[in-house]
Chain A
Amino acid sequence: MLNRFCILVACALTFTLCWVPGFAFAGDAEDGAQVAATAHGLSYGIEGFERLAKGTARAMEGQPEGYRFPVDEDVDLVVAPAADRVVVWISPKAVEKYGLDPQDNECVSGLKALVCELDSVNCMGGAQLGDVDLPWYVTAETTFDAGGYTYGFDERGADGDRYVVIASASGDAKGGARWLDSAQMVEASSVVLQDEQGPLTSLTSFLGDIDYRPFWVSIKTSGLALVIAFALGLFAAWKTMGTSSRIKGLLDSVFTIPMVLPPTVCGFLLLMLFGRSTGVGRWLIAHGISIVFTWPAAVISAVVVSFPLVYRTALGAFESLDTQMLDAARTLGWSERRIFAKLMMPLGWPSIAAGTVLAFARAMGEFGCTLFFAGNYAGITQTIPIAIYFEWMGGNTSVALFWVVVVIAFSFLVILFINMYTAHSQKYRERGLSRAERKQAKQLGGQTDSLDPVGGDALRIDREALAELMRDDTVAKGGR
C-alpha cells in the first residue's frame, strides 16, 4: 500500500517537473522579446526597439503641446503608423553613417522588413505593422507633414526631455499615429542578439522569480487555525456530549453548520459582523477590533471552516466509547477532566487524529471565506488557493500551475501521512495488546480481575487499556 503511494507521488512529481519547464520557457521567450535584430544585406542593425501603444495629449507643464510620445534621447528611427500611411523618420546622423537614401525603394524595403519583424515581436497582441500594406513615407527631416498632421520628431520639453509630437490643425492629432515604434540604429556587426535561454536557466529564473509567500501564509494560517480549531473542537465535542439531548441537537447544528454552508456565506456573515457596513462592525472597529482584510481574518476564516471537522470526528469518537467504561471510571472517583484527558482522548485518538488531518487540509484549501473576509493581499492573506486563482486571472498560467503542483504534492504527502499513521496505529494496537498480555502475566500471575476480556475484539482492546489504566491508578494510590 505504502509503496504504491510512493510510486504515485514519484510519478506525479516527475510528470509535473517535466511540464513546468515547458511552460516556464514558453512564458520567458515572450517576456524577453528581442530588442535587437539584424538582417542580411543591411549595413545596420536595430537596437533598443520600443513600442508605445499610446501617446498622450494631456496638457502638462514643461512638456510640448500636441499628441506626444516620450522617446529616448538617442533614437535614430521613429515609425508612426497612421490609418492610411506609415511615417518613418531616420536621424540624419544614421542616414549619413549607413549611406541610406530615404527615397530609394530598395533601401526602404530592407528597413521595412526589419522593422515589421521587430514590431511583430513587440506588439504584445496589438495590431501589427505588417498586417496591412500601407505606403511608407521615409524622411530625415525633424518635422514632416502628411495627411493633415505635422510630425515633430525631435521636440523638447522644458527639462530637455525628448518627445515625438504630432499636431493637427483640427486639434485632435491622435489619428497621426496609432502607436509608435522607436529604436537606435547601430553597425550590423555590433548588434548583440539576445541569447536564447536554455531550459535549465529559464527554469532557475522561473523558480527564482516566484513569490513564495503564499506557501508560508498558507502554512502559518492553517497551522494556527488548526491549533485553535483543535482545541475548540475537542472542547465543544466534550461539552456537547454531556448536555441533554434537546440542547445537544441545537448545539450540534450550530457547530456543524459552517461545514454545510457554502464558505462564501460564512465569509459574508463574518464581513457583516466585523465590517464597517453594519452597526456591530462599526462598534467593534470603534473598540479597536478592526480585523477585516488582515491576517487574523484569514485565520478566523480557516478556523470557522475547519472547526466542524474536528468537532464532528471528536464527537463521533467520544460517542462510540463504551459508556460503561466511563461510568466505571466515575465510580472510581475520577474527575470529568481526568476522564477526558486519560480515557476519552487516548481511546478516541485515531479518529480525532484523522479528523485533525482533514481539518488541516480543509484549512489549507480554504478559498471562498478567506477571499471574502480577508481579501487577497500578497504576503499577508494570499494563501495558495487564492494565489492560484489570481495568478491565472492575471495571465501567469505558469505560476498558477506551479502552485497547483505544490498543492498536489502536498496533498499526496498528507494522504501518505494518514496511511502511515493508520498502519502505525494498527500495529501499535497489536503490539500494545501483546505487551499488555505480557505485563498482565508478569504482574498479576494467574490473577484475574472483573474486567476480564470478554466480548468483541474492539471491546477487548479498550478493556485492556482500561485495565492497565486502573491498575496504574491503584498502584499509585497504594504507593501513597
Chain B
Amino acid sequence: MFDMVSRRGFVSLSAAAAAGLGLAGCSGNKTSEPAGSDVGSAKSSSKKKAVELQVFAANSLEKALPEVQELYAEQTGTTFADTQFKASGDLVEQMRAGAAVDVLITASKGTMDDAEAAELVDTDTREDMFVNDLVIIRAEGSDTKVEAIADVANLDGKIAIGDAKTVPAGKYANQALASVGLYTGTEGDDGEYVPEIANKVALADKVGTAAAYVSAGDCVAGFVYSSDIFRYDGIEEAFVCPEDSHKPIVYPGAVAESSEHADEAKAFIDFCLTNKKAQKIWAKYGFELSA
C-alpha cells in the first residue's frame, strides 16, 4: 500500500524514468538516420550501397566545401557525415584521439606531415589541392590603412592572428611578420612577437575566429586567408601579403588510413580537383586549385 507522500514520489520517479526511456528510444531512431553517429556501426554500414564519407577539413573551407559536397552527393549519391571544420592542428589531434575519418584536408604541409608521421593518412593518396593567399583584413568600411605588413605595428587596436600552435594561418602570419622584423622566429611558431606588437596580438583558435574578431570589431585588423574574406560578412581586404613574405600556402588532402571507404574517399578528392562545377565553387570562394 502506498501512502500519500511516497506515492507522489513514486509517480514523479516513474514519470522521469518514462520520459528518459522515451527520449532514449527516440534517440535510437534519430541517430540511426545519420549512420556515422556510431563508430561501431561503421562496419555494418559499409555493406549498404550508399556510402557516407566523414571529411575533416581546414576551417577556411567551411563555406565552399559543403557546396561541393552537395554537388557530389547529387551526382553520385554518396552522402556526408557532418564535416568537421577546425584548425588543421586540432583535426589531426582529433584523429589521433580516435575519431573516424575518411578524408583529411589541412591548410598546411606541416599539419599533413604530422598526420603522415602519426600514420593517420595514406601517404600514397596525398595530393596538394589548393593554394591561398595571406591577407590583412579590416572591418568593412573601416578607415584602417595598411600598405605594408609593417604597418600593423602602428595600428591603434588589436590584431587578430591565429594561434600558430594549431592554426596554419597564424603560422603564415608570423612568418610574414618575421619578414619585417615583428616576430623573432622564422618558422612562424618558434619565436615571440616583438614588444611593439606583443600586447596588440589577439590569438584566435582558428582562422575563422580571427576573421570573426575583426568582423565583430574586437580587432582592427587580422591575418587571414584571402578566401576568408569571401565567407565572412563585414570584413574586407586591406592588404595582400606578398608571396615571398611567407611559405607557400598549400592545402594538402589525403585519404585517412582508418577509412573504410578508401576508394570512395579518393574519388571525392579527385572530383574536387577535376569537376568544372566544383572548380567554379572553389573559384567563387577564392581557392585556387594548386598547379
A interface residues with partner B (beta carbon < 8 Å): 27, 30, 50-61, 63, 69-70, 124-127, 157, 161, 180, 216, 219-220, 223-224, 226-228, 230, 271, 274-277, 281, 285, 288, 290-295, 341-342, 345-347, 349, 353, 356, 375-380, 382, 392-395, 432, 465, 468-469, 472, 476
Looking at B82, B274, B277, which has the most chain A CB atoms within 10 Å of its CB? Answer: B82
Q: Give the distance to chain A from B212, nearest Cβ to Cβ, in Å.
A: 6
B232–A465 touching, CB < 8 Å: no
- B3 on the interface (CB 8 Å rule)? yes
**Beyond A53-B227, A226-B20, is A341–B6 a contact (Cβ under 8 Å)?**
yes
7 more contacts with CB within 8 A, not counting A56-B283, A230-B16, A395-B215, are A55-B283, A125-B229, A375-B99, A376-B82, A379-B30, A395-B231, A468-B3
B27–A295 touching, CB < 8 Å: yes
A223–B20 touching, CB < 8 Å: yes
B229–A124 touching, CB < 8 Å: yes
Expressed in whole angstroms, the Cα–Cα distance for A271 and B99 within the complex equals: 11
Interface residues on B, range: 35 or more
B31–A295 touching, CB < 8 Å: yes
A375–B84 touching, CB < 8 Å: yes
Q: Which residues of B contact A125 (CB under 8 A)?
A: 137, 140, 229-230, 232-237
Q: Which residues of B contact A345 (CB under 8 A)?
A: 6, 9, 13
Number of residue pairs A-B, CB distance < 8 angstroms:
191
A295–B38 touching, CB < 8 Å: yes
Looking at A54, A57, A227, A290, which has the most chain B CB atoms within 10 Å of its CB? Answer: A54
- B195 on the interface (CB 8 Å rule)? no
- B117 on the interface (CB 8 Å rule)? no
CB-CB nearest in chain B for A178:
B240
B229–A377 touching, CB < 8 Å: no
A293–B99 touching, CB < 8 Å: yes
Tell me which of A292, A295, A349, A377 contacts B97 (CB under 8 A): A292
Q: Which residues of B contact A290 (CB under 8 A)?
A: 39-40, 98
A69–B283 touching, CB < 8 Å: yes
A127–B20 touching, CB < 8 Å: no
Expressed in whole angstroms, the Cα–Cα distance for A135 and B206 within the complex equals: 40
Q: Give the distance to chain A from B209, nearest Cβ to Cβ, in Å.
A: 6
**Beyond A292-B98, A465-B5, is A377–B279 a contact (Cβ under 8 Å)?**
no
Expressed in whole angstroms, the Cα–Cα distance for A264 and B206 within the complex equals: 18
Residues 79-110 of B, flagged 1 when their CB comes within 8 A of A and 0 if not, give 00110110000000010111110000000000
Expressed in whole angstroms, the Cα–Cα distance for A382 and B23 within the complex equals: 17
**Beyond A56-B291, A295-B37, A395-B232, is A276–B3 a contact (Cβ under 8 Å)?**
no
Tell me which of B6, B36, B100 contacts A346 (CB under 8 A): B6
- Where chain A touches its partner, the secondary structure class is mixed
B37–A276 touching, CB < 8 Å: no
Residues of B14-36 whose CB lies within 8 A of A: 16-17, 19-20, 23-24, 26-27, 30-31, 34, 36
Expressed in whole angstroms, the Cα–Cα distance for A395 and B234 within the complex equals: 9
Instruction: List 12 A–B pairs whose Cβ atoms lie within 8 Å, in order of A's numbering.
Output: A50-B280, A53-B227, A56-B279, A125-B140, A125-B232, A125-B234, A127-B237, A276-B98, A353-B12, A375-B94, A393-B212, A472-B3
A220–B99 touching, CB < 8 Å: no
Q: Which residues of A contact B85 (CB under 8 A)?
A: 394
CB-CB nearest in chain A for B240:
A127
A277–B230 touching, CB < 8 Å: no
Q: Which residues of B contact A228 (CB under 8 A)?
A: 20
Q: Which residues of A contact B237 (CB under 8 A)?
A: 125-127
CB-CB nearest in chain A for B13:
A345
- B168 on the interface (CB 8 Å rule)? no
Q: Give the distance to chain A from B67, nearest Cβ to Cβ, in Å.
A: 13
- B183 on the interface (CB 8 Å rule)? no
CB-CB nearest in chain A for B283:
A52
CB-CB nearest in chain A for B19:
A223
Q: Which residues of B contact A223 (CB under 8 A)?
A: 19-20, 23
Expressed in whole angstroms, the Cα–Cα distance for A56 and B288 within the complex equals: 5
Q: Which residues of A contact B63 (CB under 8 A)?
A: 394
Expressed in whole angstroms, the Cα–Cα distance for A476 and B282 within the complex equals: 79
Q: Give the distance to chain B from A161, nearest Cβ to Cβ, in Å.
A: 5
A379–B34 touching, CB < 8 Å: yes
Expressed in whole angstroms, the Cα–Cα distance for A230 and B9 within the complex equals: 13
**Beyond A53-B283, A345-B6, A393-B209, is A377–B19 a contact (Cβ under 8 Å)?**
no
B62–A394 touching, CB < 8 Å: yes
B31–A54 touching, CB < 8 Å: no
Tell me which of B16, B39, B226 contacts A227 (CB under 8 A): B16
Expressed in whole angstroms, the Cα–Cα distance for A271 and B95 within the complex equals: 12
Residues 200-234 of B, flagged 1 when their CB comes within 8 A of A and 0 if not, give 00000010110110010000000000110111111
Q: Which residues of B contact A60 (CB under 8 A)?
A: 273-274
B82–A377 touching, CB < 8 Å: yes
A294–B39 touching, CB < 8 Å: yes
B16–A70 touching, CB < 8 Å: no
**Beyond A57-B291, A227-B16, is A277–B96 a contact (Cβ under 8 Å)?**
yes
- B284 on the interface (CB 8 Å rule)? yes
**Beyond A227-B17, A276-B96, A394-B208, is A70–B3 a contact (Cβ under 8 Å)?**
no
Expressed in whole angstroms, the Cα–Cα distance for A216 and B232 within the complex equals: 28
CB-CB nearest in chain A for B274:
A60
CB-CB nearest in chain A for B285:
A53
A54–B287 touching, CB < 8 Å: yes
Expressed in whole angstroms, the Cα–Cα distance for A281 and B98 within the complex equals: 9
Tell me which of B84, B206, B280, B290 contacts A393 (CB under 8 A): B206
CB-CB nearest in chain B for A128:
B236
Q: Give the distance to chain A from B54, nearest Cβ to Cβ, in Å.
A: 9
Q: Which residues of A contact B26 (CB under 8 A)?
A: 220
Expressed in whole angstroms, the Cα–Cα distance for A341 and B2 within the complex equals: 11
Q: Which residues of B contact A50 (CB under 8 A)?
A: 280, 284
Expressed in whole angstroms, the Cα–Cα distance for A226 and B37 within the complex equals: 21
Expressed in whole angstroms, the Cα–Cα distance for A53 and B263 within the complex equals: 31
B98–A53 touching, CB < 8 Å: no
Looking at A52, A61, A180, A230, which has the most chain B CB atoms within 10 Å of its CB? Answer: A52
CB-CB nearest in chain B for A71:
B280
CB-CB nearest in chain B for A231:
B17
CB-CB nearest in chain A for B94:
A375
Expressed in whole angstroms, the Cα–Cα distance for A379 and B288 within the complex equals: 32
A293–B98 touching, CB < 8 Å: yes
CB-CB nearest in chain A for B243:
A174
Tell me which of A51, A54, A292, A432 contacts B99 (CB under 8 A): A292
Tell me which of A57, A219, A469 contacts B23 (CB under 8 A): A219
Expressed in whole angstroms, the Cα–Cα distance for A285 and B100 within the complex equals: 12
- B145 on the interface (CB 8 Å rule)? no
Q: Give the distance to chain B from A10, nearest Cβ to Cβ, in Å.
A: 27
**Beyond A379-B34, A472-B3, is A54–B97 a contact (Cβ under 8 Å)?**
no
Q: Which residues of A contact B6 (CB under 8 A)?
A: 341-342, 345-346
Tell me which of B23, B39, B208 contacts A220 (CB under 8 A): B23
